[in-house]
Structure 1
Amino acid sequence: MTTLLVFEFPSTGPFGAEAEAAYTELATDIAGQDGLIWKVWTEDSQRDVAGGVYLFADEASAQAYVKKHTARLAGFGITDITATSYAVNEGLSRIDHAMLER
C-alpha cells in the first residue's frame, strides 16, 4: 500500500529560487530513493520551516527514507524533525485525481 510521508524541520533558508540552486544535487539524490514515487518540496519563510511531502510505494520504503534523511539532516545540525507517515486509501484518492504511480 502506498504511504504518504510528511517531513518538517526548522530552517532559516535558503528559500525559493535560492533553495532550488542550493539543493539541486540533493533533489537529484532523493529522486533515486528506492520506492519514491514523488516528492513535493515545502517551505515557509514566515515560520522558518522547510520539508516535504513524499509518496512512497510502501511503508518499508518510507521508513528507510526517514532513517536516511533524519541522519542526513542531523549531519547539517538539524534535529528538531517531524516525520509522519500515513497509509493512502488508493481507491478514494484515485477518484480525486491522485497520481499514485510514476
Structure 2
Amino acid sequence: MSKLLQVDFEFHGPFGENMSNALVGLAQSINQEPGMIWKIWTESEKDKLGGGIYLFEDEATASAYLEMHTARLQQMGVAEVRGQIFDINTRLSTINQGPIGE
C-alpha cells in the first residue's frame, strides 16, 4: 500500500528559480530511488524551510529513503530533519483529485 512521506528542515536557500537551477541534478537522481512514485518540492523563503512531499510504493521504501535523505542532509549541515510517514485515505483523497495512484 502506498505511503506518503513528509519532510521539512531549516533551509537558507537558494529558493525559487535559483533553487530550480541548482538542484536539477538532485531532482533527477530522486527519480531513481527505489519505490519513489512522485515528489512535490516545498520551500518557504520567509520561514527558511525546505522539504518535500513524496509518494512511495510502500513503507519500507519510504523509510529507507527517509534514512538516506536524513543522513545526506546532515552531511550538508542540516541539524534537524523532520520526517513523517503517513497512511493515505484513498477514498477521501480520490474525491479531492489526490494524485495517489494505487
- Using the size of structure 2 for normalisation, the TM-score is 0.94
The 2-side partners of 1:39 and 1:80 are apart by 20
Q: Determine what percentage of the aligned residue pairs are the same residue.
A: 39
1:35 aligned residue: 35
2:78 paired with 1:89: no
The alignment yields a C-alpha RMSD, in angstroms, of: 1.3
Mapped to 1, the partners of 2:56 and 2:2 lie a distance apart of 6
Indicate the residue corresponding to 2:66 in structure 1.
66
Runs of 4+ off more than 3 Å:
none
CA distance in 2, matches of 1:91, 1:37: 19
Q: CA deviation at 1:31?
A: 1.1
Q: How many residues align?
A: 102
In structure 2, the residue matched to 1:24 is 24
Query: Tell me, which stretches of 5 or more residues in structure 2 are unaligned?
Result: none
CA deviation profile, 1:41-92 (whole Å, cap 9, x unmatched): 0000111010001111111110010011011101101121100111012222
What's the secondary structure of 1:26's corresponding residue?
helix
Q: Distance in 2 between matches of 1:16 and 1:40?
A: 14
2:48 matched to 1:48? yes
Structure 1 unmatched ranges of 5 or more: none
Alpha-carbon distance between aligned partners in 2 of 1:33 and 1:92, rounded to the nearest angstrom? 28
